[in-house]
Structure 1
Amino acid sequence: MELECNGMAENIRMRFEDAGASPLPVSNIGLYDAAGGHKIDGLEIELRYNGNHIDVNGSAVNIGSYGSGPRLWEGIKCLLCHRQVLCR
């Protein structure tokens, strides 16, 4: 994701939500199958801005103010995380 600013932008705030039925407790985005919308255990997406984790389903993140002319902000990185799922 890349955000572009065409002028002065003050106090930029962003907030992201997991729209699925089973939000993750670690504040990442869960992945769901296309067939039935069931959560895929062990796979999730982590959002980062400037190397810092962005909590999903939390409060807005303030990324500051930006310049007086066109400026491309650093992109938000989406990382695919694989967590080991223990089955019994």
Structure 2
Amino acid sequence: MVSSTKRFKQHHHAVCTELDGEVALFQSNTCDYLVLNETGSAIWNALKTQPTLPELCKHLQGEYEVSPDECKLSVEAWLEAGLEKKVIAVVDD
């Protein structure tokens, strides 16, 4: 489970580019290639500020009509998948 107090960032081995308004990621160590949808792209771009889960949810709720609970569950799942694929990382304290 993703902690509410940890900060998240784009992994330094993840290379990104924008294709038709969506972010495409390539993880150079694992050779994984991902194309993010609009919401995933918004999360990816928000990671530049190294936000916590609550900060990410607050940002997304300002952009999209989504309930706090639904947002938290969806963002947690996205972060867990991103950590597993090594396209995002936890910021070291």
TM-score (norm 2): 0.29
Q: Pick the structure with greater CA Rg.
A: 1
User: Whose strand fraction is larger, Structure 1's or Structure 2's?
Assistant: 1
Which has the larger helix fraction? 2
Calculate the TM-score normalised by the size of structure 1.
Answer: 0.30
